[in-house]
Amino acid sequence: MTANQMGGSRMDTNQADSVATFGGGAQVERPLGRSIKRGMLNSCPACGSGKLFRNYLKVVDNCASCGEAYHHHRADDLPAYLVILVLGHVLVGGFMLTDLAFPAPGWVHFAIWAPIGVIASLLSLQPIKGGVVGLQWALRMHGFSGREDEVETPLPARDE
């Protein structure tokens, strides 16, 4: 009986936490599409006027215009993964189509597609990273929920 009551109260607390994390009615709306679009255009997902990047791939700590914090974004290697996913299909498809239309030796294709691959990757990495940060901001992921990420408590050693 007591255990049930404890379990019940614990569930209530968890529910309150998840509402606070993933957006309740009281919170300001963060439209997903608009946030991703603003991030891809190198502007702050929150206000749309400040810059999101202070360098090629360095995200600003705080928006210069509205002060929104971005230092706790966790884009990590998702932008690179997405660039590889998208460009891989475009480049391999392009190589195969041109080889069908204009058969050429391998080194000719390499000389054409390798520079295109490098340039397209460098050009698309910043907008895609901006879109990922915008997505994380809109979904209140990680520090964007208003709370710090909690460090997992390690399990005790098994032989203790």
Which parts of this chain interact with Zn ion (CB under 5 A)?
44, 46-47, 50, 63, 65-66, 68
Q: What is the DSSP string of the chain?
A: -HHHHHHHHHHHHHHHHHHHHH--TTSPP--HHHHHHHHHTTB-TTTSSSBSBSSSSPBPSB-TTT--B-TT---TTHHHHHHHHHHHHHHHHHHHHHHHHS---HHHHHHHHHHHHHHHHHHHHHHHHHHHHHHHHHTT-GGGGSSPPPPPPPPPPTT-
Tokens found for residue 38:
């603003």
Would you give the end-to-end CA distance of the chain in angstroms? 31
CB of 112 to Zn ion, least distance (A): 41
CB of 25 to Zn ion, least distance (A): 24
CB of 59 to Zn ion, least distance (A): 12
By beta-carbon proximity to Zn ion, the closer residue of 68 and 121 is 68
Give the whole-angstrom CA distance, residue 34 versus residue 128. Answer: 14
By beta-carbon proximity to Zn ion, the closer residue of 60 and 141 is 60
By beta-carbon proximity to Zn ion, the closer residue of 20 and 47 is 47
By beta-carbon proximity to Zn ion, the closer residue of 63 and 132 is 63
By beta-carbon proximity to Zn ion, the closer residue of 47 and 80 is 47
CB of 68 to Zn ion, least distance (A): 5
CB of 53 to Zn ion, least distance (A): 13
